[in-house]
Amino acid sequence: MSLYAAYAGNLDARLMTRRAPHSPLRATGWLNGWRLTFGGEHMGWEGALPTIVEDPVSQVFVALYDIAPMDEESLDRWEGVGLDIYRRTRVRVHTLDGEEPAWAFALNAYEGGLPSARYLGEIADAAESAGAPHDYVMELRKRPC
């Protein structure tokens, strides 16, 4: 199994059970030195798509999943890896049990553009359902769209 750091909509455990049904949630944690942002507005159906970029003073709340080999290809397809929309990137997740090496999806497009209000609301709801701190969820809800 490999460890996947889910952010944005994939923080929703119900959604992940459909996208990766054989892959259990291990923990939640933080990507320190990364920032949640949006880009590739021309690639999305409802505005810009979520991504992470390195930023030494920021952090992103994530859910850490043990991805079963049978779910990896399905998750890559869902995220558009074969279409060059997203790529995998290596990250370190800080959990209550220590630091874990993992991978996350990063957008293959420049940062910029705004997500739709509906999509941003889904991301905030997913973060809340995964146990993200209230201030993190509120920052998501207040973002421009």
Cite the annotated binding site by residue number.
119
Whether residue 54 lies in the annotated active site: no
The one-character DSSP state at 111 is: B
Helix (H, G, I), strand (E, B) or coil at 19: helix
End-to-end Cα distance, the chain: 36
Q: Which of 72, 79, 122, 128 is catalytic?
A: 79
Q: Which residues contact 45 (CB under 8 A, 6 or more apart)?
A: none
- Known binding residues for substrate: 119
**DSSP string covering 34-82, please?**
EEEEEE-TTT-SSBPEEEEEEEEEEEEEEEEEEE-HHHHHHHHHHTTTT
With beta carbons less than 8 A apart as the criterion, state whether 29 and 60 touch: no
- Indicate which residues carry an active-site annotation: 79
